[in-house]
Structures are given as structure tokens and as C-alpha cells.
């Protein structure tokens, strides 16, 4: 799928402040991830995470309906 910067900017312009912040965090994550790609062998050698999820993280994982597919968002915002 070819997504232009213009289309991304138009979509972001339709979001409220909190959602824009979420988009910023996600893009930051993607940029970080793209710089630090590990192979499956490297991942297998990593120590497992030894911390529990916070109550807020557990609630976020259990929320229903907060995610919509990109195609649905495009249709919904008529982009």
C-alpha cells in the first residue's frame, strides 16, 4: 500500500490531542525498532523480561474497541 506523507498528515490532522500523542509514541517506537532489528537467533539469546505489567498496562491490554484497522480509519475520515 502506497501511503503518502500528505495522506498521513491529513489523517493526523483529524485526531484529537491524546490520539496525536499516541501516534507520536507509536512512530517513535517504529523508528527505534527500525534502527535496532534483531534476528530471531539474537532474540532467543536475550534474557526474558522479569517485570510484571502495571495495572494500567493490564487495563490497556484488556480494553475492547480501541483499535481500528487503517482501512476503516481512511473510510471513516473520508481520506
pLDDT in tens, 1-50: 788 999 999 999 999 988 999 999 999 888 887 777 778 888 889 888 88
Most distant CA atoms of the chain, gap in Å? 46
What is the model's pTM? 0.43
Euclidean distance between CA atoms 30 and 7, whole angstroms? 18
Alpha-carbon gap, residue 72 to 74, rounded angstroms = 5
Query: Strand locations in the chain, DSSP E?
Result: none
Round to the nearest angstrom and report the end-to-end CA distance of the chain. Answer: 14
19 close to 76: Cβ distance less than 8 angstroms = no
Amino acid at each position: 500500500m502506497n501511503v503518502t506523507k500528505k495522506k498521513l498528515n491529513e489523517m493526523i490532522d483529524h485526531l484529537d490531542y491524546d490520539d496525536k500523542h499516541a501516534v507520536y509514541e507509536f512512530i517513535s517506537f517504529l523508528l527505534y525498532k527500525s534502527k535496532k532489528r534483531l534476528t530471531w537467533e539474537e532474540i532467543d539469546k536475550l534474557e526474558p523480561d522479569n517485570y510484571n505489567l502495571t495495572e494500567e498496562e493490564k487495563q490497556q491490554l484488556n480494553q475492547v474497541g480501541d483499535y481500528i484497522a487503517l482501512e476503516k480509519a481512511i473510510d471513516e475520515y473520508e481520506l
